[in-house]
């Protein structure tokens, strides 16, 4: 912590600073902007690059937790209904099924139904023959089934639209900028010290009027700082003082998921048994996600799927889909759940599965004598709006500025849609319109022959370049338009990506002292490594052959050895 000198020049000033660019932080940003606050958000990497970018894309109905935590189930059901109302264009109404197999405990069904009743959820019984008509790939050992209002959600699209909308109303968002300390004065915490991270793929960026210009290292001041850094919440709080970290009861739980290059089910399918590994299937566009595992880990570091975790998921998945081995997994990925430590016995490696999914607000002014610092932790993607609403209420109390939460009534526009301006928002910048619409619809480029960069996900070169021209880093643009997320996992996209970047004259006006060729190679290398990370854990059969093909293509087109890890598939 550093004492802020009176009248000291700073890089930016706001009413509130939010640290963390996941669902929780972006939700707090959107909530406070709609209340009329001037807000800055700071994220150390890319948007949704932590837990929010590694979940299974499920909008919970509450059924998952009805048998263990009816209170969380009720919260999920309420948020399910609200998000379907205000963020409809980001949600696919797949519906959900809970199915009991022959080996599942019969008494759990009664407990689950009672929990549903307490949560306000009304599962609809489905006849066995009707279930198999709806989902013909399911096992014939289904004994009972119930419908619930589960759905799939486009998390990346929703969060990016919230960011653009917030910026249009005057907020500033600094990506790839790390908070290294807090600023204080006689009244408590009054800001943060920020250091931009160098490099093309890790550059610091600020969203202003449709551009993400290079952010300078410096200080940002505000009346309140909200720590919404998920698995890093304790580390962030510790920058203020060790006591603040001790007030954040955080545990870390690893979850691994598998993606299959086929829509194996049309509904979200859950096993009707106590929540366990590999008992949920989520359809997302042309793919299906099988999840998830649960295991305690010591911290929030970058975790990779282990072979035994992949094998466990496949073993459990066969109980629901006996023919699952006919569709080889496309890739595997892992995320870290930030769970409330008080709800989990962390001496038990599997205890995270039984831990609650509630959330907690910590006012460090009350707990640690640090007025102006707030931590929000726990929760789920489904409940991020509710978490933000309670955080916004607390911020209003701390600054003595009452303002009503409006996120349950204001629709979330897709990129380029008209943005509702809060009636009393202190907008100090021109509204973001040109950049957002260019990012949403593509940009006219007479010098760029339009073509598909990614055939699997139908990503055109104009769409990709419009996102890059709007200032997004390639990793952000890739997640937003799903570049490389299809069946080839970047095998053909890498070469087309390089061609599109060269054709567009990228990186254009960059200040980096590198040639275009060097910059393009650096970006495509990062893209390849990112794709390889998820493929490495499932390199057998068809995926092994695809990896060998990728290595051959890279030798032919780039004149160099193929992907790292090529030796694993020989």
Q: What confidence tens digit (pLDDT) does each residue in 395-413 have? A: 999 999 999 999 999 999 8
Q: Show the DSSP H helices in 324-405 as ranges.
A: 364-367, 384-399
User: For residue range 279-335, what is the model confidence (pLDDT) as tens digits?
Assistant: 999 999 889 999 999 999 999 877 899 999 999 999 999 999 999 999 889 899 999
Q: Are 335 and 312 in contact (CB under 8 A)?
A: no
Question: Angle of helix 384-399 relative to helix 70-86, nearest 10 degrees?
Answer: 90
Strands (E) located in 308-409: 329-340, 359-363, 373-378
CA distance 275 to 67: 9
Q: Are 476 and 218 in contact (CB under 8 A)?
A: no
CA-wise closest residue to 444 among 481, 426, 469: 469
The CATH T-level fold of domain 2-50+156-243+358-399 is: FAD/NAD(P)-binding domain (3.50.50)
CA distance 420 to 543: 46
The residue ranges of every structural domain in the chain are 2-50+156-243+358-399, 434-569
CA distance 173 to 28: 13
Q: Are 229 and 373 in contact (CB under 8 A)?
A: no
Give pLDDT, residue 11: 82
Give pLDDT, residue 557: 72
Give pLDDT, residue 350: 46
Give pLDDT, residue 36: 97
Give pLDDT, residue 19: 98
CB contact burial 85-107 (16+ within 10 A = b; e otherwise): eebeebbeebbbbbbbbeebeee
> Hey, CA dihedral for 491, 494, 497, 503, is it positive or negative?
negative
Residue spans of the chain under pLDDT 70: 4-7, 9, 197-217, 342-357, 416-449, 471, 507-516, 558-570
Give pLDDT, residue 198: 38
Give whole-number Cα distances, 70 to 17, 117, 150, in Å: 34, 9, 16
CA distance 177 to 179: 7
CA distance 86 to 39: 22
Half-sphere exposure of 308 (CA within 13 A, CB side): 2
Pairing of strands 268-271, 96-101: parallel
CB contact burial 217-228 (16+ within 10 A = b; e otherwise): eebbbbbbbbbb
* Cα dihedral 210/211/216/221 (nearest 10): 10
DSSP 420: P
Give pLDDT, residue 345: 45
């Amino acid at each position: 912590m550093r004492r802020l000198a009176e009248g000291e020049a700073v890089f930016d000033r706001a009413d509130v600073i939010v640290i963390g660019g996941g669902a929780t932080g972006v939700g707090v940003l959107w909530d406070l902007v709609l209340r009329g606050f001037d807000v800055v958000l700071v994220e150390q990497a890319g948007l949704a690059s932590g837990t929010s970018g590694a979940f299974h894309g499920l909008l919970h109905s509450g059924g998952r937790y009805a048998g263990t935590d009816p209170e969380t189930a009720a919260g999920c059901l309420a948020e399910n209904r609200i998000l379907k109302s205000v963020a409809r264009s980001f949600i696919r109404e797949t519906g959900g099924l809970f199915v009991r197999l022959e080996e599942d405990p019969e008494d759990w069904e009664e407990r689950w139904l009672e929990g549903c009743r307490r949560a306000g959820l009304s599962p609809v019984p489905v006849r066995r023959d009707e279930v198999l008509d709806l989902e013909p790939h399911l096992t014939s050992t289904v004994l009972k089934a119930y419908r619930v209002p589960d759905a799939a959600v486009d998390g990346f699209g929703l969060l990016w639209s919230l960011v653009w909308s917030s910026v249009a109303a005057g907020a500033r968002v600094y990506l790839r900028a790390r908070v290294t300390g807090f600023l204080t004065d006689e009244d408590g915490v009054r800001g943060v010290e920020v250091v931009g991270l160098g490099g093309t793929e890790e550059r610091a960026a600020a969203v202003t009027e449709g551009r993400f210009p290079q952010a300078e290292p410096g200080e940002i001041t505000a009346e309140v700082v909200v720590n919404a850094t998920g698995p890093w919440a304790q580390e962030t709080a510790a920058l203020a003082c060790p006591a603040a970290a001790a007030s954040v009861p955080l545990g870390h739980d690893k979850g691994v998921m598998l993606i299959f290059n086929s829509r194996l089910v049309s509904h979200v399918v859950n096993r009707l048994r106590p929540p366990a590994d590999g008992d949920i299937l989520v359809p997302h566009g042309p793919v299906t996600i099988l999840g998830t595992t649960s295991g305690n880990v010591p911290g929030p570091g970058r975790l990779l799927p282990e072979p035994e975790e992949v094998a466990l998921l496949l073993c459990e998945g066969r109980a629901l889909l006996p023919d699952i081995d006919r569709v080889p997994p496309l890739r595997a990925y892992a995320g870290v759940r930030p769970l409330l430590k008080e709800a989990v016995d962390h001496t038990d490696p599997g205890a995270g599965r039984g831990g609650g999914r509630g959330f907690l607000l910590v006012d460090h002014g009350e707990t640690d004598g640090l007025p102006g610092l707030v931590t929000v932790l726990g929760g789920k993607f489904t409940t991020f709006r509710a978490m933000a609403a309670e955080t916004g209420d607390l911020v209003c109390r701390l600054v003595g500025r009452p303002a009503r939460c409006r996120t349950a009534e204001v629709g979330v526009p897709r990129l380029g849609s008209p943005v509702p301006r809060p009636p009393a928002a202190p907008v100090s910048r021109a509204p973001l319109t040109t950049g957002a619409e260019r990012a949403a619809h593509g940009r006219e480029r007479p010098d760029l022959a339009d073509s598909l960069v990614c055939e699997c996900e139908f990503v055109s070169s104009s769409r990709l370049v419009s996102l890059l021209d709007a200032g997004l880093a390639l990793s952000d643009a890739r997640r937003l338009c799903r570049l490389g997320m299809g069946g080839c996992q970047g095998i053909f996209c890498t070469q087309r990506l390089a061609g599109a970047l060269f054709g567009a004259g990228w990186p254009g006006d960059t200040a980096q002292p590198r040639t275009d060729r060097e910059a393009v190679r650096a970006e495509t290398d990062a893209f390849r490594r990112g794709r390889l990370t998820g493929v490495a854990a499932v390199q057998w059969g068809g995926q092994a052959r695809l990896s060998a093909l990728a290595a051959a293509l890279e030798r032919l087109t780039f004149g160099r050895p193929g992907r790292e890890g090529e030796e694993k598939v020989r």
